[in-house]
Amino acid sequence: MVDYCFCIEPKTSSPQYRTIESLCKMRPGKSINHTDWADLTKYPIAVSIETKGPSIGYETALLQVATWHSAQWRSLRRAKQEMNLSTLSWEIEFLPGIIVMQHHWWFVATALNEGGKAQTFERLLLGETESLLGIYKLSMALQKLVEWTRDQYWPAFQSDVLGL
């Protein structure tokens, strides 16, 4: 499990929300995601964030995010099958993650390779919390991830998983 997630919270009166509710009834843990933890059952995960202290290495954090993303891809594939949608093509291009190591925030991404297996690409420094400039960079990067979630991931999720 990761420490934090950006989730998409559709309005309860929307067709997306109703489709998610319907799909959850058929899924393990009654969840739209690959976890049955609290609100993560009904709100699709878009960005995952893992934090580590100084005694844990980056490779350990990367392995945790990669494992989490691999489970998320399996869950997305299963949801697509349950909605009788083709699993051969994907609108979702990658799953983003953030690894926070002390003051440094790193972007990582996991995409499906040609064989359909999750492949993790790493690492791009988003910013850091030791300087004003680093905090500004981080703030802008997080805002861009929110925009990407709204403008790219959510429409792709609706197409790939919800069939909308």
Q: Which residue, among 113, 114, 116, 100, has the nearest Cα to 64 in the 3D structure? A: 100
Name beta bridge partners: 118.
112
Res 82: pLDDT = 86
What DSSP element (H or E) covers 118? strand 118-128
Res 69: pLDDT = 97
Spell out the residues 6+ positions from residue 85 whose beta carbon is closer than 8 angstroms to its own.
160, 161, 163
Res 19: pLDDT = 96
Per-residue pLDDT of the chain (164 residues; tens, 9 = 90+): 899 999 999 999 999 999 999 999 989 899 999 999 988 999 999 999 999 988 899 999 999 999 999 999 999 999 988 888 877 789 999 999 999 999 999 999 999 998 888 999 989 999 999 999 999 999 999 999 999 999 999 999 999 999 99
Between CA 19 and CA 29 the distance in angstroms is 16
Report yes or no: 131 and 104 within 8 Å, Cβ to Cβ. Answer: no
Report yes or no: 118 and 68 within 8 Å, Cβ to Cβ. Answer: no
Q: Judge if pTM exceeds 0.85.
A: yes
Report yes or no: 5 and 48 within 8 Å, Cβ to Cβ. Answer: yes
Q: What residue spans define the domains of the chain?
A: 4-162
